[in-house]
Amino acid sequence: MKSALSLFRSKKIGLICLAAAAVFGASSVWFRSEFLRWQHLPLVGLLAAVCGVCFALIPTALYTQTRDRHPLRVFLGALAFYEVVLWGLLTIINVGGAYNRRAVGAAFLVLLPAFGALCLFLFLRLSRSGKKHLRRTAAALLCLCFIAGGIAAVFQIDALSVGPFVDTLLHGGEQAFFEDWSAERTFTRECAVELEKDPGKDFVVLNLADIQLDDEEALGEMGEQVKANTDRLVAQTQPDLITLSGDNAWGSQAYMMLIKMLDAYGVPWAPVMGNHDGQGCQSEFWCAYKLTHAKNCLFRFGPVGMGYGNYIINITQNGEIVHTLFMMDTHSYIEEDGINGPAGTEDNDNYDHLWPEQLEWYAWAVDGIEKIAGKPVESSVILHIPLNEYKAAWDEATGGAACSPETEVTYIGEYAENSFGVRHENGGWPPESNGFFDLILQKGSTKNVIAGHDHVCDSSILYKGVRLTYALKDGPGCYWEPELNGGTTLLIGSDGHAAVEHRFIDFYAE
């Protein structure tokens, strides 16, 4: 430590510079994160002040060692320079009242190396002949640290992303985490995860939908309430498997809190991606990477070119496959993915869905499982964005009833006996059918489709022999109705048949 500090003008000045540089770097990362959310204005202001003070401390400490200047003048001048540059850059990149994450990162890419360059200049000005080389080395290293900080700001690299970032580099890119697949490949039991069912009771699958908390909510009182709500669901249902039908969390910290909560139940859990997974985080790949490294999570990246998280779970009894769960990624928006387009004219008509390769993969798996089992195997599909047929089923089952909390739902005809639940909003499905429902009918395996996405819907309609169900939402994240809170279970019997039930929970119960 002494040798390191001796590179500066004095131990005291060296210690001030090192401490200020460390606090400035940490506060800058935190400031960037809070600024993008803009939810805690006092904290944003405090962090900006801390960054400015630390920025001004180093030139003040160094410059006043060799110049006959009043320290306060130097400090105020450096602080004013920092504030003008910072807020000037952030004002420039504020387009239409919104801040782009990469644009804010680019602003810090300018600020942090500039700070490092200033330190470099001042260190070199203070060089003494006896330690000139060491001083230049120390200054250059400090400058490089701030350049690295700027790059990290652009690419959203922080403590949570270092592992995925390094692992991706070592494996040669993100593609290395996906499976190579073709329809000519023979389906084997290794192509799916297998969970053994107790012959003496139903296999219970508990689905949680659209938890969707952001970082601040997950780390605050709402996060505690959602955990208590989920604890009650798990205690009530005693699941053998927990599934999540997408829009799991908004933000890196929220995702890590969710993983920690689910892992703590000690039972296998399996999520699919929603259209908001990856937002507020480094990327959707980051979310998928973290899921694959959770202790009890069954998530797989799945075949390349089909999105994130297309995988299969086979429920077995005495080693024989009795039921299959298809976990499938419905992606995000047509305008981004360019697959199930063109987008429709309504606000909710821009949602993407399954891609043609996924339909081919599904058909391949259904045929392969049937061949292994020696008989047709009943299956269920868990995804996020509902099929376009959800709308047709609702219109036929209710006579086209309006989707509103004020509408009293009455199922008509054959649907009166085998349908239940409500729809309090227009669905966010793709504008046209992508052929998946027709493929389901053709193959005859899937009897249940479980979707999330539309938070205030819990309708479950047996349509053309396939039950199309909206899963109950877990907690108030994003938007909700307290009366439609809880989870949805699939009860799989020894014959492989799965029955759907909603489990309502009073969110505010003690």
Residue 4 has a pLDDT of 42
CA–CA distance, 353 with 59 (Å, rounded to integer)? 55
Residue 151 has a pLDDT of 59
Residue 2 has a pLDDT of 47
For the full predicted model, state whether its pTM sits above 0.75.
no
439 pLDDT exceeds 80?
A: yes
Per-residue pLDDT, averaged over 313-324, amounts to 97
Highest mean pLDDT among 55-69, 176-190, 444-458: 444-458
Per-residue pLDDT, averaged over 245-251, amounts to 93
Q: How confident is the model at residue 125 (pLDDT cuts 50, 70, 90)?
A: low
Least Cα distance to 413 among 460, 462, 448, 471 occurs for 462
Asked whether the beta carbons of 325 and 380 are under 8 A apart, the reply is yes
Asked whether the beta carbons of 128 and 135 are under 8 A apart, the reply is yes
Reported as a single tens digit per residue, the pLDDT across 460-489 is 999 999 999 999 999 999 999 999 999 999
- Which residues, listed in sequence order, are joined to residue 504 by a DSSP beta bridge? 486
Highest mean pLDDT among 18-32, 137-151, 185-199: 185-199
Q: How confident is the model at residue 158 (pLDDT cuts 50, 70, 90)?
A: low
421 pLDDT exceeds 90?
A: yes
Reported as a single tens digit per residue, the pLDDT across 267-305 is 999 999 999 998 888 789 999 999 999 999 999 999 999
Q: How confident is the model at residue 146 (pLDDT cuts 50, 70, 90)?
A: low
Q: What is the residue extent of each domain of the chain? A: 2-158, 187-504
Residue 5 has a pLDDT of 42
Average pLDDT of the residues of the chain: 84
Per-residue pLDDT, averaged over 104-118, amounts to 66
Residue 1 has a pLDDT of 40
344 pLDDT exceeds 80?
A: no
Strand order in 241-244's β-sheet?
Answer: 269-271, 241-244, 203-208, 486-492, 498-504
What b/e sequence results for 227-251 when a residue is b if at least 16 CB atoms lie within 10 Å of its CB, and e otherwise? bbbbebbbeebebbbbbbbbbbbbb
246 pLDDT exceeds 50?
A: yes
Per-residue pLDDT, averaged over 253-274, amounts to 95
Reported as a single tens digit per residue, the pLDDT across 191-204 is 999 999 999 999 99
Question: What's phi and psi for 320, nearest 5 deg?
Answer: -100, 140
Largest CA distance in the chain: 95
80 pLDDT exceeds 90?
A: no
CATH 3.30.43.10 fits 187-504, yes or no: no
